[in-house]
Amino acid sequence: MNKSGISTVTQFVLLGFPGPWKMQILFFSMVLLLYILTLTGNMAIICAVRWEPRLHTPMYILLANFSFLEIWYVTCTVPNMLVNFLSKTKTISFSGCFTQFYFFFSLGTTECFFLCIMAYDRYLAICRPLHYPSIMTRRLCGMLVCLCWLIGFLGHLIPIFFISQLPFCGPNIIDHFLCDVDPLMALSCGPKPIIEHIFHSVSSLFIILTVFYILGSYTLVLRAVLQVPSSSGRQKAFSTCGSHLMVVSLFYGTIMVMYVTPTSGNSVAMQKIITLIYSVVTPVLNPIIYSLRNKDMKYALYHVLCGMRIIHSS
């Protein structure tokens, strides 16, 4: 409960995806499978980068950190979702709901900035290849990674704190599978202060600035690639950037529908599906996209898996 002394709500009910028991078991099995695949795929990338000396470069270090981020991004929502599929009450405490709310948006914002520095890395590698080793050093790479985490976890801290101080008198039913901003604001029994507009403005600003930066970076990359005389060189450059662009398209395509464009025209079911795509489905696709389109990563994953088999057989 918040400290304002007005709120009477001590827990919320997350309806999730209502349906008969057999349907809940089916949802549970599907989400659990996606969660296991997400953890396995991203852990495999982290291990491959850690154990393969050829991957000790800024590009793959960023990819390993991105995989680490994805693991936490799904973990802040999916375990609670799995419990609710098998629960009759489907409750979450007041503090637990806002903790999930904070980490979900903080990790999502961190992902936006990670995609930015990964685009910056590809821009330097293709547009300024001679200066790349002297610019994108491990020191700069580490500083950029720390900056992403810092901005992500500080950007929404104050708005979410003030939202948690709003009076919640009941009802306490959230027609969603996680604690999102719009369902929570709808349950507040007090006047909606300017903090709601500040939250949406900050979220939209982060999304718009990062997506325009990524688009600008890849516009310069595309111009540089088209000037490469050999077709093999162009193909290699496109292959290097293609996986990142696919991840960017999947992630931004869904979050912009939810947090930038008006959502009043979308049904509650549609909002749940869109949120499920970028919070559960996209993280499981990222390792597949990066590994299938990258020969070095496939080579490293093969040796990691072979090494694990040898240890297991011994």
Instruction: Report the CATH number that the domain containing residue 198 is assigned in CATH.
Output: 1.20.1070.10
Is 72 within a domain? yes
pLDDT for res 28: 96
Is 1 within a domain? no
Is 240 within a domain? yes
Is 101 within a domain? yes
Is 169 within a domain? yes
Is 4 within a domain? no
Which token pair is 125?
Answer: 């590698």
Is 2 within a domain? no
Q: How many domains does the chain have?
A: 1
Residue 63: give the domain boundaries: 11-313
d(CA 141, CA 132): 12
Burial class (CB in 10 A: 0-12, 13-18, 19+), 156: buried
Rg (alpha carbons) of the chain, rounded to whole number: 21
pLDDT for res 245: 79
d(CA 44, CA 48): 6
Give mean pLDDT in consecutive 10-residue pieces for the chain, a chain of 314 residues.
Answer: 59 91 94 95 90 87 93 96 92 94 96 93 89 92 95 92 88 91 86 81 90 91 78 66 79 80 66 89 84 72 63 45
pLDDT for res 302: 75
For the CA atoms of 9, 14, 18, 20, the dihedral, rounded to the nearest 10 degrees, stands at -90
d(CA 192, CA 159): 13
